[in-house]
Amino acid sequence: MRVVLFGPPGAGKGTQAKAISDRFGIPHLSTGDMLRAARVAGTDIGRKAAEAMDKGSLVPDDVMVGVIEERTRAPDCKNGFLLDGFPRTEGQADALAAMLTRNSSKIDAVVSLDVPDDLLLDRLVGRWTCPKDGSSYHEVNLRPRKVGVCDLCETPLVQRPDDKADAIKHRLNVFHQQTDPLKRRYEREGLLRGVRGVGSPDEVRSRIQQALGA
């Protein structure tokens, strides 16, 4: 199964991506992880990605697709993969479709986690992150055992600049501007699986599995 996972900031993509990956036995391909791995591997595509990253620029779509193409040729992707964070624009969707066609492959489903903006704002404003291991906490919904300290490594927690209210509203606006057209596109193609992202992680996971025909 080859799946694309959509969701606005705070929708719970990370949690649900792991659940989908485990349930269907397919690797979770995060664009950030892929870029870092390509950089470390030192391939031609990896060097092009690193050059853009070092300049603080967005990685060009053709380079990003090249990174994805390299990664999806790995043996663990033989039975499918879960794409998280790509595509985000119509141009990226076109490039992804062309890549899959070259490899005689296709996307089987696009899962869209749907959560109201006001709830997303509440979720993100209270989010704190461990700068060492990336663990996330929430001052209401998921408090650390010790205030302000990571449960796993005892590193002081920080709040990311993009988790401030004004920044969150901007991120949500950008998401809707870029991704709503993609949702309509994949709906026309019969691939979109809209999933209500409100409730406990287990409830959302169950809805996703039903949407994917598990």
Q: Nearest 5°: CA angle at 178, between 175 and 181?
A: 120
Q: Per the domain annotation, does 193 fall within a domain?
A: yes
Q: Which amino acid is at 146?
A: K
Residue range of the domain that includes 196: 2-27+74-211
Q: Per the domain annotation, does 65 fall within a domain?
A: no
Q: Spell out the per-residue pLDDT of the chain, length 214, in tens.
A: 899 999 888 898 888 998 899 989 999 998 878 887 888 888 888 888 888 777 766 678 888 888 888 888 899 999 999 999 889 888 889 999 999 999 899 999 999 999 999 988 888 888 888 998 888 888 877 899 999 999 999 999 998 777 788 888 888 888 888 888 999 999 999 999 999 999 988 999 999 999 998 5
Q: How many domains does the chain have?
A: 1
Catalytic residues: 13, 88, 127, 160, 171
pTM of the complete model: 0.79
Q: Per the domain annotation, does 38 fall within a domain?
A: no
Positions of E strands within 158-210: 192-196
Edge-first strand listing for the sheet containing 28-30: 28-30, 81-84, 2-6, 109-114, 192-196
Which CATH number fits the domain that encloses residue 121?
3.40.50.300
Q: Per the domain annotation, does 57 fall within a domain?
A: no
